[in-house]
Structure 1
Amino acid sequence: MLLNLFFLFSSPMSMLTSFIAVIRTVSVVTGLIIIVDCVALMLVGKINFGTVLPFLIGVVFVAHGIWWHAIRRFITRQRGLSRIWYALWITFGLWLMSFGVFIGSLQQQIKLSQQPLPEVAAIIILGSGTVDGKPTPTLASRLDAAVPIIEAQPNAIVITSGGVGFGRSRSEANIMATYLSEAHSIAFDRIVQEGKSTSTEENLSLSQALLAAQGVSITEPITIVTSDFHTVRAASIARHQGYTQPMTVASMTPLSIRYNAWFREYFAFVSGWLLGEY
């Protein structure tokens, strides 16, 4: 009896059936986790590319897990559609591998950003949005992460970088400088404000003139403070622009939105590569 069961479950067909069952279960569970996470974020107003696309992927996962055999039968009846179906899954697999490489690089960059810093010539804090004249939680986290470095390196030039948003009267750089002064007692006149940029590329390119005016060359060690998910792209843009010793410092993204932010950053990184930012 036991021998018969062994041969039953060890047969190729049985193994394939068991494998498909596992894949279906993993698809449903993974899809539900993605859907719940995205819906929770969308309910608090975070309706963007980084929530809508994963939500749709989650729906596809759940649908394939529940109706796998029905979908498979339908696809096999349509010869042209079958080829497209397989091609899409192969493309998805390749994308998943590239996403894994990106996450690995990001984790490595975050670890590097946590190492003790040498003496630097300047500290550039990249903007990340304001609400009602105050930094968003993500931007406040960046500013808070910059404070220990500012205090430990009194000779470093401090630059807050961020322009004037649509319908706003104050630049993000000014709001950032005010926050550092009021919340952390950093001398306001020590902070140089770059208040025209609207992107990471402009943050770093427009800061170059301010650094030069302060007698700092972009070949000197310069710290760039940004969010953990943004470190790879910021460092890549900086090196492309001629910063020869950029060192990123990462502020940690809250766990509730961390992986969603990493997902969105992957596409932002690919977009930057296609636009020639690095």
Structure 2
Amino acid sequence: MFGLLRIVLIALGLILIIDCIALIAIDKVNFGTVLPFLIGVVFLGHGLGAPMIARVLVKHPVLRRIWYGLWLIFGLWLMSFLVFVYSLQQQIARSKQTLPPVAAIIVLGSGTVAGKPSATLANRLDTAATLIEQQPQALVVTSGGIGLGQPRSEANIMATYLQDTHDIPLDRIYQEGRSTSTEENLAYSQDILTQHSINKNMPIAIVTSDFHTIRAIAIAKHQGYKQPVALASPTPLSIRYNAWFREYFAFGSGWLLKEY
């Protein structure tokens, strides 16, 4: 049993390390890659050094209690993470269902590269385009401010992409170009909705990445949106689980900051 546990820890450690190094090598340096990398190093070190660790713990009962206490804390954290992943999968499944008629469609920003939508943002816009074409009565809002050193707002880049890629006229797209966070995306978009007699009691679609749906809906409800519905865009498999990992901590951070 002990030997099997060592093998599992070594295998998990190598998988985490290799996965994170591959993502970091393509500039995916964030909480979702750095922390799993460190966990992988701990797993690998524990698996390789298990005999030495066992000898030390036998000689030092206090260290042994601390060691097992740390593993207990890690186990409880892992359970909370698995609960989050289960809830996220349920939300993603709901967001893939056919949406009812909505009064407005808000597309949340997710970064640009050289004046073009990032891959994640392009996925959101492609997903939004289908709904926009299906529901021509809905008001369309692209939401995202001006990034550091950027001459155009993210909202403008998003609107241009929808026009160039999906033939959606620019005059149908309203641009919210001040926001720098999900909370501001939804708060500032309300001004545009109000100008067009759309209130927060009406059904409003929020288009975002699948991993982001739980937090986006929670923030929307906290701000008074009564019928927010999420439309999830797929996250590439290569970064999907790292994105989920990062979002777990972002969700906790949002709770501490009272965003919902």
One fold, TM greater than 0.5? yes
Are 1:136 and 2:121 an aligned pair? no
Distance in 1, Cα, partners of 2:243 & 2:253: 15
Are 1:126 and 2:108 an aligned pair? yes
Task: Report 1:74-89 matches (<5 A).
Answer: 74-89=56-71
Distance in 1, Cα, partners of 2:40 & 2:230: 33
Distance in 2, Cα, partners of 1:47 & 1:115: 33
Distance in 2, Cα, partners of 1:146 & 1:248: 11
Task: Report 1:1-278 matches (<5 A).
Answer: 19-278=1-260
Distance in 1, Cα, partners of 2:58 & 2:181: 47
Distance in 2, Cα, partners of 1:77 & 1:218: 64
What is the CA-CA distance between 1:84 and the residue it aligns to?
2.2
Distance in 1, Cα, partners of 2:2 & 2:57: 17
Q: CA RMSD in A?
A: 0.9
**What amino acid is the match of 2:227?**
Q
Q: Alpha-carbon deviations, 1:217-252, whole Å to 9, x = none?
A: 111100000001001110111111111111101110
Distance in 2, Cα, partners of 1:88 & 1:169: 49
What is the CA-CA distance between 1:273 and the residue it aligns to?
0.7
The structure having more radius of gyration, on CA atoms, is: 1
Q: Alpha-carbon deviations, 1:77-99, whole Å to 9, x = none?
A: 33433332222111100000000
Q: Which residue in the other structure is 1:7 paired with? A: none
Structure number with higher relative contact order (C-alpha < 8 Å, ≥ 6 residues apart): 2
**What amino acid is the match of 2:34?**
V
What is the CA-CA distance between 1:75 and the residue it aligns to?
3.0
For these two proteins, the number of residue pairs brought into alignment is 260
Q: Alpha-carbon deviations, 1:168-220, whole Å to 9, x = none?
A: 11100000000001111001011110100000011011111111111101111
Distance in 2, Cα, partners of 1:126 & 1:248: 11
**What amino acid is the match of 1:23?**
L
Deviation above 6 Å: which 4+ runs of structure 1? none
Which runs of 5 or more structure 2 residues have no equivalent in the other structure? none
Tell me the TM-score normalized by structure 1. 0.92
Distance in 2, Cα, partners of 1:78 & 1:242: 56
Q: Alpha-carbon deviations, 1:50-94, whole Å to 9, x = none?
A: 111100100111111121121122234334333322221111000
Distance in 1, Cα, partners of 2:59 & 2:175: 63
**What amino acid is the match of 2:19?**
D
2:228 aligns to what SS in structure 1?
strand
1:65 aligns to what SS in structure 2?
helix
Distance in 2, Cα, partners of 1:230 & 1:114: 14
Distance in 1, Cα, partners of 2:190 & 2:203: 13
What is the CA-CA distance between 1:260 and the residue it aligns to?
0.6
Q: Which residue in the other structure is 1:9 paired with? A: none
